[in-house]
Chain A
């Protein structure tokens, strides 16, 4: 097994429960939600550098022409190893966390060998969990997608970033008399409703228009205590202003991002099976950073919120988890930040050359073609 240098900064992600008083909800150490992300987008870093600074996720300070670098450092990891002994990896962990798009399915098509692989892992007593940054669906809706594809996956095993946002608010005892303004789609609304929170906004505000005329004043609900921002195809200026007003003017208002993926593949069996790039949640979140000059609390990958939630919920040690994903700056970073083993599959957005490029500094423990490689004793030739 490849050895890896310890991550010199621990992004401890234990969620400290807020005071139980319903009139205040305090977030301890919000910086823990800042993602150590996008190392791979900086071409000036090579994998052999001794100290690699992680970027802050700030891309919204107008004075700087380049992103500012904060003080997180990770020591170099050894290069990712091709997965040669799948059995050893399987035996060494108790839980597998899978990303969905590019790992389990691509669009509305299952990737070869997935059902058999999942069955095999279950037969060995492994717990399976599915964590996706896609916030357009609720876990229930995802459950249906799995079912449609013939996979035996329980809703309780699925964690979408829409669920993460609601779970986060629950974990801090967000008061039920406060409201949540949503810049995002249906999945977020459904999860908030399930968790018993009042919400405003969502797709319905997509039709609202602004007329910047003298004497026009946009009002906003003073009871909004959190703004949740995610992927939103109905994004418009009305929503930006509403969210901005809440964050700037409602005391203590939280700014929560489901995720900051720059681009994504829209994968929905019912809607569209396209596979090329579309702008992701990172765009909408960026917009609100730009107008509020504030950074959000990110609940999706690579933030470890979901990891801590799972570990807590299922009572598992992070060292007993293997994160399997196709994206370096979300999936693999998520696993590393959480202290898990990490396996990159090349069945999604990342190619071998991207992994091995000198400008990439995120090295998973292992890589392989696709998850069905688990079924063979030796990895398939790459």
Chain B
């Protein structure tokens, strides 16, 4: 069976542009599924829209993961959803009956903390968080002082005469992620830190526009909160989540697998698939999340995964296992 050439024309991992694949995405079938399995040592899975939708597992996922493990494949979970820490994700997996270790999980909350660590963020400086508990926990685990987060959900700006909106001058970084408790107070706090604290970093966990925060519909993602802060600071953030390949470095440290022997499985073209392509992995798009067949096929879409299929469990059924 003819195999589609999967060499990236631009293997530069720091490139943010999509790689124009030589041919259209291939529908996963028996033959190419077997070939894919044989050519890959590790599968990287996105979570929302791939493994679960909100708090509901997608059909056939546990059996598929078991099969892959039984064949000696390493499984890694790379999620842009920053609302949980790795430990909290491990708990979620467990509550859904999946046995996944926190070392196998790379969340954008973890990525944000690691970014500050590898860039030697000074311990006396603080981090203001627009986002959930996940970011706050990862920052604390890494030894940093976090302000904001869920704590600021009920705060309101005081619009009184001669009442200044105060902000901590020691904030050296603002981390913005998905925040269903977004409010004006947080936007204003973050804006002042970025605009007025010299050298303050503006870090985004990710920029996904929408996601399946619940099983029944899509909800605004971190891309919304990040764009809000861009709108008032006129600055662009450092993005640590997909499609940035920042997290790949940590994966490579942990797993002794070359990226060409990895397959990224995701439901979003502009994060999951682009991440895989940027890093030189094979890519498989599943249609169980935010992307439909028509979006994939639309002429305006320039991101073509190597393969596509309806859902993760197709791997299992196509292999006839």
Which chain A residues have a beta carbon within 8 Å of chain B's beta carbons?
38, 41, 59-60, 62-67, 210, 212-218, 232-237, 240-241, 244-245, 260, 262-263, 266, 271-274, 276-280, 282-293
Contact = CB atoms under 8 A, between A and B. Distances in A.
B231 A240 contact: no
Interface string B133-164: 00000000000000000000000010111111
Nearest to A108: B161
Interface string B166-195: 000000000000011111100110011001
A233 B185 CA distance: 8
B270 A62 contact: yes
Contacts of B162: 273-274
Contacts of B164: 274, 276
A287 B227 contact: yes
Contact of A290 (B56, B191, B215, B228): B228
Which secondary structure characterizes the binding site on chain A? loop
Contacts of A232: 184
B226 to A, nearest CB: 6
Given A244-B224, A283-B231, 6 more contacts: A60-B230, A215-B216, A217-B214, A234-B184, A241-B220, A291-B209
Given A63-B17, A65-B236, A287 B231 contact: yes
Contact of A214 (B56, B165, B232, B274): B56
A23 to B, nearest CB: 27
B239 interface: yes
B191 A283 contact: yes
B227 A286 contact: yes
Given A62-B207, A212-B214, A283 B159 contact: no
Given A273-B161, A290-B225, A240 B220 contact: yes
B243 interface: yes
A290 B223 contact: yes
Most chain B CB neighbours (cut-off 10 Å) among A235, A241, A282, A286: A286
27 contacts: A41-B234, A62-B206, A212-B54, A214-B215, A215-B214, A218-B217, A234-B184, A235-B182, A235-B183, A244-B220, A260-B231, A262-B232, A271-B161, A272-B161, A277-B192, A277-B195, A279-B187, A279-B191, A286-B227, A286-B228, A286-B230, A287-B224, A287-B225, A290-B207, A290-B221, A290-B225, A291-B220
Nearest to B230: A59
Nearest to B222: A290
Which secondary structure characterizes the binding site on chain B? loop
A57 to B, nearest CB: 10
B41 interface: no
User: In which size bucket is the chain B interface?
Assistant: 35 or more
Contacts of A272: 159-161, 163
A64 B55 CA distance: 31
Nearest to B223: A290
Contacts of B60: none
A60 B271 CA distance: 14
A258 B154 CA distance: 27
A290 B209 contact: yes
A337 to B, nearest CB: 19
A172 to B, nearest CB: 25
A377 to B, nearest CB: 39
B181 A290 contact: no
Contacts of A41: 234
Given A41-B234, A214-B54, A290 B224 contact: yes
A278 B234 contact: no
Given A218-B217, A233-B184, A290-B207, A280 B54 contact: no
A204 to B, nearest CB: 16
Nearest to A215: B216
Contacts of A292: 209
